[in-house]
A and B are shown apart, each in its own frame.
Chain A
Amino acid sequence: MSTGNFLYGVAMLLFLIGFYTVLARPSLIKKIIGINIMETSVFLFLISVGSRRGGSAPIILSGVKDYVNPLPQVVVLMAMVIAVGTTALALSMAVKIFESSGAGERRG
């Protein structure tokens, strides 16, 4: 594996770890954490696709010639918003499932 695509490999590894959590861990909250790990790994992959050696942040300043690719950053920012939405929804479902399946011992 060429060292250049090192970050892609890390992203895929994180994706698998997250996927494993969702598949194998029984607790609903742990599954949601797993989903978040998968999401961040996909974002890492998207950003590393758009990265550029020696490129600086996409804020146009005089004198700076080559910039990092801004399009993946837009995609990832929107996907992060979606990730927050999905996590909040999943958490509220998990809470409602727990509470309507018989109130276990619950501290205030």
Chain B
Amino acid sequence: MEKHFLILTVTVPLATATLIPLLSIRWERAGFWLASLALLFSFGSALILVGGVLVDGRIAYHVGGWAPPWGIEIFLDWVGAFFLLLASSLSLAVAIFSRIYVEQNLEASKIPLFYVLLLLLAGGMIGFILAGDIFNMFIFFEIFSLSSYALVAISGGLESLKASFRYLLMGTISSLFVLLGIGLLYSLTGTLYMPLLAQELGVLPYSGAIRAATALILVAFGIEAALFPLHVWLPGAHSLAPSPVSALLSGLVIKMGVYGMIKVLFYILGGRGSSEIGALFSLMAATAIIVGALFALRENDIKLIFAHSSVSQIGYVILGIYLFSYFGLAGGLLQVLNHALAKSALFLCAGVVISQAGFRRLEDLRGIGRRMPFLMVFFTIALASLASLPFTCGFASKYYLCKGAIERGEFWLAGIVLLGSFLTLLYCVKIVNYIFFATPAVGRGGGERSYPEVSPWMMVPIGVLGFGSLLVGIFPGLSFILIKPAVLGLLGMVR
């Protein structure tokens, strides 16, 4: 019976998204309640599905009753379960957070549309994770890309529109690369169903066409995951989007690019040509780590710092994946979890600060830690795990990445990982200095003005994310229930 939850997790959010405009004419709070209920349903069914995966490793579902190569099959295995749990929980938290935020920051007419797009984004990502067929994956890639372009531009400012247009251009080009890659793979093998495709590719010699197809698709997902040379769109898009949206974008959407890369590298290619791809992409990841952190150091708009830091943190994840070793992959997946929890908590806190205090620049945020103590505790926990201090999940992922790099004998990669985390620590301390250890400049807005009470709707999601990153921080072993079999499964696919 629980196999049906596989399809319902995807279709329920998308169907509710179509219902919202109809209902919101009479009942103006429809948007929020429908969105939260749909995402609650998806989160519940995600838990049930992960339970199913724990029991028997891989759940498959033939949509429409047709056998796989002819019909479409959606499946969930260990890696999918890890990403599905992350996606559904984060979307639910952000949906609940955005109730008050949206009323304060968006015009009334756009609020139902915000929730429609939020549901489409969440449903698109969940569908992307479950897709078993490359073209199905491409369509879900389109769904969550289109909705994230719109969500970036929803606040209507000229700057955010320009940033979102640049994001749209690069996203469309990356989706065309994926389509071209699919075309090449289809012409070589004749099927779109991934396991069969992988089997057929395994037989063919490693010709130029396969290398081209992989390069195209990996570059496309590289654009989506904002890997170093292809990350130009990210700082503008993530910093100008409304805060709950940038939390989802930084926390989840760029992880979908990473998931896509995993799917291509391990499921379709089976790790073939990993030596040459690995070398190139780990070089790009290494530059991403350093350049992203340096740019983050230079900025003083709080959301711009976090946007650049996302570019650098994604470098860690991709470095981990392209090491093709147990510890590398474990470190990469752990960094996905750590960055998702920490970065979304940080963006949500920044959202509260900006909407309550109205400041974005660090100078204006002097000493705010003392006036919003409860919020700032979670802010510091998230910063600590971003900077990978001991007893945080960031430390465990940094440890495994170093181990993976040293195991392959590439000391310079381990050095880059450590240098990157040192630079991350620098800008985290820079923020902490301003927030806790600086007296508010007297001239700005009456220093000691106490800010309006932060509503529980906003505090609960931040609290859950902060507590989650603390729990996973102290016991990273908890997440290994999913990560260990996932990584072993992936390595098993490498022929």
Let me know if chains A and B touch directly in the complex, using CB atoms closer than 8 Å: yes
| Cβ contact of B172, chosen from A15, A49, A90, A97, cutoff 8 A | A90
**Interface range on chain A (Cβ under 8 Å from partner):** 20 to 34
In the complex, whether B161 has a CB less than 8 A from a CB of chain A is: yes
Q: In the complex, A22→B150 CA distance in Å?
A: 20
Interface residues on chain B, number (Cβ under 8 Å):
27
Q: In the complex, A38→B142 CA distance in Å?
A: 16
9-residue interface stretch from B173-181, B196-204, B284-292: B173-181
Decide if A93 touches B139 in the complex (CB within 8 Å).
no
Chain B window 181-210, contacts with chain A (Cβ cutoff 8 Å), 1 for yes, 0 for no:
011001100001000000000000000000
In the complex, whether B349 has a CB less than 8 A from a CB of chain A is: no
Decide if A42 touches B161 in the complex (CB within 8 Å).
no
Q: In the complex, A48→B317 CA distance in Å?
A: 38
In the complex, whether A13 has a CB less than 8 A from a CB of chain B is: no
Chain A window 75-93, contacts with chain B (Cβ cutoff 8 Å), 1 for yes, 0 for no:
1001100100110011001
Decide if B172 touches A93 in the complex (CB within 8 Å).
no
Decide if B173 touches A97 in the complex (CB within 8 Å).
no
In the complex, whether B295 has a CB less than 8 A from a CB of chain A is: no
In the complex formed, the residue of B with least CB distance to A47 is: B183
Chain B window 133-148, contacts with chain A (Cβ cutoff 8 Å), 1 for yes, 0 for no:
0010001001000100
Decide if A86 touches B165 in the complex (CB within 8 Å).
no
In the complex, whether A57 has a CB less than 8 A from a CB of chain B is: no
Question: For B149, what are the chain A residues with a Cβ–Cβ distance below 8 Å?
Answer: 89, 93
Decide if A89 touches B146 in the complex (CB within 8 Å).
yes
Decide if A82 touches B139 in the complex (CB within 8 Å).
yes
20 pairs from A and B in contact (CB 8 Å cutoff): A19-B173, A22-B173, A28-B165, A35-B172, A35-B173, A45-B180, A46-B179, A46-B183, A71-B192, A86-B142, A86-B168, A89-B168, A90-B168, A93-B161, A93-B164, A93-B168, A96-B153, A97-B165, A100-B157, A101-B158
Given A42-B183, A78-B135, A86-B168, 10 additional A-B pairs, CB 8 A: A22-B169, A28-B165, A46-B179, A46-B186, A75-B186, A85-B146, A89-B149, A90-B169, A96-B153, A100-B157
